[in-house]
Amino acid sequence: MNFYNKHLLNDFNFKKYEILSLLENVNKLNCLSFFNKKICILNEKQSLRTINSLINVFNLLNLKFTVINNKHNIKKENIKDFSRTLGLLYDYIFIRSNNDNIIKIISKFSGSIVINLLSNGFHPIQSISDLNMLNKKKIIYLFGDFNSNVFRSIIINLSKLNVNIIIFSPKMYWNFIFLKKIFNKKKIIITEKIIISKKKCLIYNDVWFSMGETSNFINKIKLLINFQINKKILKILKIRKIFHCLPCFKNIKIKKINFESELKENIFESNFTFFEKQINKKISIIKSYIILGEKIFFKIF
């Protein structure tokens, strides 16, 4: 199995068997020699964990790469011309962008292989790395605004693996067009009220405010406060673990007013969370993805 000439623009790009191939190869490392492929990290959005996980893998595999942090190119230049220029300079482009359309244009006009590290619409690397620990679990709760990029990605991928999903979200965020596209012939539960189950479950949570989001913070917090993960939720549900797409903004202050965030401080520091393991799995998934794309990067002895 390899991903030769295969973009990863969003979670729709992967079929079920391809996801399973990634998960199976997480802990495998072939004996490889490296070609001189030109690799670029195009970073339009701030990042700590995803970009550094990628750099960690490049260093591990002894791959050379260039990091472009200049937003001027995307904001001021003709995006098609910029894409063609990237294509002349690089074979592989890893990108974090504020706009999914920009990623699509770059993939179309650059001629390079494009990997979406994060966009407003999707976060495939995060969702696939978490799938390694979510796969084969019976019940998974998604808490909060399920229109977030991480939720959108994890819903798409969980639906491919036939996992039972319960979305606990304010009704105004319910996106029926999206749900119909994903669950055309499958059932999904979406509710504004907690469904109590005797079985143990996992909770998947995302930040209420994505980087670069310009919505009305105060109104959004008022809407989402009843969907916060706190001691009350721990008493109602039998929780195994809590997944969270870091960073968690634990202290939100707007106009001198302190607001609650999606995850209570005492929960964030509890044994229910295991963010270190999530980061390590992200590194493993990126490594697995690159190795399975061996026709691009590597020659097997």
Q: Selecting from 3.40.50.1100, 2.40.37.10, 3.40.50.1370, 3.40.50.620, what CATH number does the domain 11-123+282-300 have?
A: 3.40.50.1370
Q: pLDDT, tens digit, for every residue of 42-64?
A: 988 777 778 888 888 888 888 88
CB-neighbour burial class of residue 254 (10 A; exposed 0-12, middle 13-18, buried 19+): exposed
Distances in Å between the Cα of 254 and the Cα atoms of 227, 257, 264 are 20, 5, 18
pLDDT band at residue 28, thresholds of 50, 70 and 90? Answer: low
More confident residue, 74 or 110: 110
Confidence of residue 8 (pLDDT cuts 50, 70, 90): confident
Residues in CB range of 1: below 8 A, 6 or more apart: 18, 21, 25, 292
Model pLDDT, residue 194: 84
Which residues in 79-220 belong to E strands, given as ranges? 92-96, 113-118, 139-143, 164-168, 189-191, 201-205
Predicted TM-score (pTM) of this structure: 0.79
CATH architecture, domain 124-279? 3-Layer(aba) Sandwich (3.40)
Across the range 269-289, mean pLDDT stands at 76
The pair of three-digit structure tokens given for residue 229, joined into one six-digit string: 């993960």
Q: What is the pLDDT of residues 104-155, one digit of tens each?
A: 999 999 999 898 988 888 888 888 888 877 766 667 888 877 778 888 888 8
User: Which of the residue ranges 97-111, 142-156, 241-255 would you say has the lowest mean pLDDT?
Assistant: 241-255
Please tell me the predicted confidence (pLDDT) of residue 148.
82
Q: Where in the chain is the domain with CATH 3.40.50.1370?
A: 11-123+282-300, 124-279
Predicted confidence at residue 105, as pLDDT, reads 93
Segment of 21-35, 88-102, 260-274 carrying the highest mean pLDDT: 88-102
What percent of the chain lies above the pLDDT cut of 70? 76
- What is the C-alpha separation between 242 and 233, in angstroms, rounded? 11
Least confident of 128-137, 157-166, 234-243: 128-137
Predicted local confidence at residue 69, as pLDDT: 79
Residue 260: pLDDT band (50, 70, 90) is: low
* Weakest-pLDDT range from 26-30, 155-159, 166-170, 264-268: 26-30
Strand pairing category for 257-259 and 252-254: antiparallel
